[in-house]
Structure 1
Amino acid sequence: MSISFFDLTGRRALITGSSQGIGFSLAKGLQAAGAEVVLNGRDASKLSAAAEELGGVETLVFDVTDHAAVRTAVDRFEEDTGPIDILVNNAGMQHRAPLEDFPPEMFQKVLQTNLTSIFNVGQAVARHMLGRRQGKIINIASVQTALARPNISPYTATKGAVGNLTKGMATEWARHGLQCNAIAPGYFDTPLNAALVNDAEFSTWLEKRTPAGRWGQLDELTGACIFLASGASSFVNGHVLYVDGGITVSL
Structure 2
Amino acid sequence: MAQRPFFQSDQVKLSADLKAFEGRIGYKFAKPELLNRAVTHASMSSANRDDNQRLEFLGDRVLGLVMAEALLALDPGATEGQLAPRFNALVRKETCADVAREIDMGAVLKLGRSEMLSGGRRKQALLGDAIEAIIAAIYLDGGLEPAKDFILRQWGDRVKTVKQDARDAKTALQEWAQARGYPPPSYVQTDRQGPDHAPVFTISARIENGEQAVATAPSKRQAEQAAAKTLLAQLEKNS
TM-score (norm. length: structure 1)? 0.27
Q: Which has the larger radius of gyration?
A: 2
Determine which structure has greater relative contact order: mean sequence separation of CA pairs < 8 Å that are 6+ residues apart, divided by chain length: 1
TM-score (norm. length: structure 2)? 0.28
